[in-house]
Amino acid sequence: MLLQDRSKPLSVNLPGDRSYGIFFDDLDRLTDVMRKASVRPGKVLVITDTNVAGHYRGRLDALLKNDGWDPLILTLPAGETTKSPKHLQAIYDAALAWKIDRQTPILAFGGGVVGDLAGYAAATLLRGLPFVQVPTSLIAQVDSAIGGKTGINHEEGKNLIGAFHQPKLVFVDPKLLFTLPRREWHSGLAEVFKHALIRDEAFFAWLEASLGNVIARHPDVVPDLVYRAASVKAGVVSRDELEHGERMVLNFGHTVGHAIEKALGYGVMTHGEAVILGMKAAILISRRFHRSLDQARVENVLNQVPLSPIPAALSLPEVREAMNADKKRDRSSLRFVLLKRIGSSYVTHDVGEADIDAALAHALGRPF
């Protein structure tokens, strides 16, 4: 049992008046919570996608209207390609044609793609609109909706155009996760394990002990899991909003994970599937520096998350090439997040080429 009081909102503590709460409640309570966070009825531009709209559009529309809101709901195609200049322009066009003003909030009702895109529209329209995050995927509820990173993709790569724009509140209803496709649940678990591994050993032990229920998305474990994983993110962002230091540890597993996604072509493996492989690589490297790290224990947990098969066409040189392209963009040597032990992580540039090659081969189950 995880001892935590989930009735308390989490908070992201930031300078000035930019702190905000992460509220865990039934979707029907959204408008009450918005009022409490001083987001008051009027026009609201809701951005969602076809998957989420299929389940919840009518319910959200009625909820907002019953509380005196005047919603305009823009339903965009589901999928990563929606995080594009074209769909950003569609939001600008709809918002300006509808005569929004600087008090009109944008409400993101969806997963990471919707949150990032809607957030960037909110950051840029009329030099900044109030923004409300109502995340509906596991990745979004524990990670991407928290912390104010917004943006769109460019042909050159993911998230290359963006801004920090913090929401006024994040509203999380873990019950929405029960309509998520199974593959998306398993993929989201990557970020949950990531949060436990980088900062919360007791959470890792709980995930390990409850693993069957965690993987099966059992209702007894879902709310605790979401709350605890989100609390790690809220703490990290409160200490380092703009990623000058500690926030970089949230990229655990992502140096290799991003490169795998890029080498395969986006959408072949999910982000979370690639991050699980990236974490296995980072754990092998960590173990070279920290012999007491229990690699077998961590891998035993990660190996039980069902993943789609690694495509045979994925070539190690292509993954290395994708890693080097990211390195050039950062004007530095490759950056890895490593574990000293479960729950304790740090960033380093000091990983040798041979260690990286061995770790990649290990993660992808290839000979070295």
Interface contacts to ligand GLY, rule CB under 6 A: 143-144, 147, 149, 243, 247, 250
> What residue number has its CB nearest to ligand GLY?
250
CB of 251 to ligand GLY, least distance (A): 7
SS3 172: strand
Smaller CB separation from ligand GLY, 186 or 247:
247
Contact 47, 118 (CB under 8 A): yes
Smaller CB separation from ligand GLY, 25 or 243:
243
Of 92, 15, 306, 286, nearest in space to 187 by CA: 306
The values of phi and psi at residue 343, to 5°, are 95, 0
CB of 280 to ligand GLY, least distance (A): 19
Smaller CB separation from ligand GLY, 49 or 246:
246
Contact 100, 106 (CB under 8 A): no
| Chain-centre distance for alpha carbon 89 | 24
Contact 222, 176 (CB under 8 A): no
Smaller CB separation from ligand GLY, 266 or 289:
266
Question: Whole-angstrom Cα distance, residue 304 to residue 108?
Answer: 32
CB of 66 to ligand GLY, least distance (A): 34
- Strands 131-135, 106-110: pairing is parallel
Of 138, 75, 88, nearest in space to 117 by CA: 88
CB of 82 to ligand GLY, least distance (A): 18
Contact 192, 174 (CB under 8 A): no
Which helix (H) or strand (E) covers residue 214, if one does? Answer: helix 211-215
CB of 255 to ligand GLY, least distance (A): 13
Smaller CB separation from ligand GLY, 147 or 253:
147
CB of 168 to ligand GLY, least distance (A): 18
Which helix (H) or strand (E) covers residue 199, if one does? Answer: helix 182-199
Smaller CB separation from ligand GLY, 52 or 337:
337
CB of 120 to ligand GLY, least distance (A): 14
Smaller CB separation from ligand GLY, 56 or 252:
252
